[in-house]
């Protein structure tokens, strides 16, 4: 971490590099849930999330999905393209869980007939509320063409990750993606890890993600390590 600290979030720090269009992302062990109401630390979470995200970005790049990822620097840091983040979080759901179960009354674990795409306004103070196309247009968050691209690209990511994970006996229940612009090119950003995805063992439905922290289930570090081990094979 040789450069100036540009931003510190709940799980990561962003540092400048010697290149104006590249930044260093440093993954912390800090863990939060419920919009920061619950806080703690997960030993080695930063190391594992950096490694897992790197593997996923490399997989997606090999399948034609462009992202901000450039390379893994060390065990806690990656080099990425500097993005102007779009204030929309895209959530893709394959199985009912979490807030979706509460909203539509489906039990957790019930498979959806087809993937569901949701948009959330990226604003911590407002609790990242669920929004729709009309909100996006009214707030000027993205053009209709950009929003359609975000949905289509997120579904493409879903298809790639879901097949890859099933081969490793993991269900991709749901996940969050963030996107940004680099020289007006839309790119996948942020991270893809047990912090931002729900991963369940395909045979036992054992949770291998941050729900173990959210719900005080224990075995959090072991779950993150298990996900990394399965991805590495």
Residue with the larger pLDDT of the pair 35 and 179: 179
Question: Where do we find the tokens 């103070």?
Answer: 125
The C-alpha R_g of the chain, in whole angstroms, comes to 17
SS3 of residue 65 by DSSP: coil
Q: Which residues of 74-99 are buried (b: 16+ CB within 10 A; e: fewer)?
A: eebbbbbbbbeebbbbbbbbbbbbee
User: Which numeric CATH code is attached to 5-81?
Assistant: 3.30.200.20
Is the pLDDT score of 36 beyond 90? no
* pLDDT tens readout for residues 66-99: 999 999 999 999 999 999 999 999 999 999 999 9
20 and 40 Cβ atoms separated by less than 8 Å:
no
Is the pLDDT score of 47 beyond 70? yes
Quick one: pLDDT band at residue 233, thresholds 50, 70, 90?
A: confident
Q: E strands of 56-169, at which residues?
A: 69-72, 77-81, 84-95, 111-121, 130-131
Is the pLDDT score of 224 beyond 70? yes
Question: Where do we find the tokens 């209709």?
Answer: 144
The dihedral over CA atoms of 129, 36, 67, 138, expressed in degrees to the nearest 10, equals 20
* pLDDT tens readout for residues 169-219: 999 999 999 999 999 999 999 999 999 999 999 999 999 999 999 999 999
Question: Where do we find the tokens 């993937």?
Answer: 115
pLDDT, residue 33, reads 87
Q: Where are the domains of the chain?
A: 5-81, 84-219
SS3 of residue 60 by DSSP: helix
CATH topology of domain 84-219: D-amino Acid Aminotransferase; Chain A, domain 1 (3.30.470)
* pLDDT averaged over every residue in the chain: 96
pLDDT, residue 134, reads 98
Range 3-22 average pLDDT: 95
Quick one: pLDDT band at residue 15, thresholds 50, 70, 90?
A: very high
Is the pLDDT score of 1 beyond 70? no
96 and 108 Cβ atoms separated by less than 8 Å:
yes
Question: What are the two backbone dihedrals, phi and then psi, of residue 95, each rounded to the nearest 5 degrees?
Answer: -135, 140
Distance from C-alpha of 177 to C-alpha of 95, rounded to nearest angstrom: 17
DSSP secondary structure code for residue 42 in this structure: -
């Amino acid at each position: 971490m040789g450069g100036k600290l540009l931003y510190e979030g709940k799980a990561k720090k962003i540092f400048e590099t010697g290149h104006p269009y590249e930044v260093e992302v440093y993954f912390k062990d800090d863990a939060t849930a419920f919009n920061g109401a619950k806080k703690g630390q997960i030993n080695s979470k930063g190391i594992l999330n950096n490694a897992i995200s790197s593997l996923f970005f490399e997989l997606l790049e090999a399948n034609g999905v462009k992202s901000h990822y450039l390379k893994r620097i060390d065990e806690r840091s990656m080099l990425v393209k500097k993005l102007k983040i779009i204030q929309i979080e895209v959530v893709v759901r394959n199985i009912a869980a979490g807030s979706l179960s509460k909203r539509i009354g489906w039990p957790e674990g019930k498979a959806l007939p087809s993937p569901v795409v949701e948009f959330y306004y990226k604003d911590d103070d407002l609790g990242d509320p669920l929004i729709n196309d009309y909100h996006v247009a009214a707030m000027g968050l993205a053009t209709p063409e950009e929003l359609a691209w975000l949905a289509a690209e997120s579904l493409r990511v879903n298809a790639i990750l879901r097949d890859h994970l099933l081969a490793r006996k993991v269900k991709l229940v749901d996940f969050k993606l963030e996107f940004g612009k680099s020289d007006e090119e839309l790119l996948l950003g942020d991270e893809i890890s047990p912090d931002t995805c729900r991963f369940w063992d395909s045979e036992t439905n054992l949770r291998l993600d941050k729900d173990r922290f959210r719900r005080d289930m224990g075995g959090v570090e072991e779950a993150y390590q298990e996900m990394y081990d399965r991805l590495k094979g």
